[in-house]
Amino acid sequence: MVVTKHRGYEQRLTIRATRDEWELLGARAQAAQLSVSRYLIETGLTSANPPTPEARAERERLLYELRKIGVNLNQLARRANSGLAVPPEPLERTLAAASAIMAQLQGGAS
């Protein structure tokens, strides 16, 4: 991670993050050749449209649905791996549902 020198910053900011979030922030900051704190300040000050509470709730709902679909896919894979027949209809429905949710997530429901 690139570290910037202390430049007389008067305020301190403490954040909470999961390990995955911290690693992703670190990777993005490193790619931008910034410290994590400077990266957060720069992106926070230049972001014109942070997600609304409704958009964040919708994203969480979509991720929940995507996890449920993952469970269904796992059940179908387990069935196939045990040598049992997997009818194409449930697999097609599950994959279509996953594709639809992924399209919604990519379309800005974040």
Cα–Cα distance measured from residue 79 to residue 82, given in angstroms and rounded to the nearest whole number: 5
Residue 109 has pLDDT above 50, yes or no: no
pLDDT digits (tens, 9 = 90+) for 41-80: 888 888 777 778 998 899 999 999 999 999 999 999 999 9
pLDDT value of position 78: 95
Amino acid sitting at position 96: A
For the chain, which residues make up each domain, given as ranges? 1-50, 53-106
Residue 3 has pLDDT above 60, yes or no: no
CA atoms within 13 A on the CB side of 26: 8
Angle subtended by helix axes 19-31 and 36-46, to nearest 10: 80
Contacts of 13 (CB under 8 A, 6+ apart): 37, 40
Cα–Cα distance measured from residue 36 to residue 39, given in angstroms and rounded to the nearest whole number: 5
Residue 110 has pLDDT above 50, yes or no: no
Tokens of 85: 């027949």
pLDDT value of position 108: 54
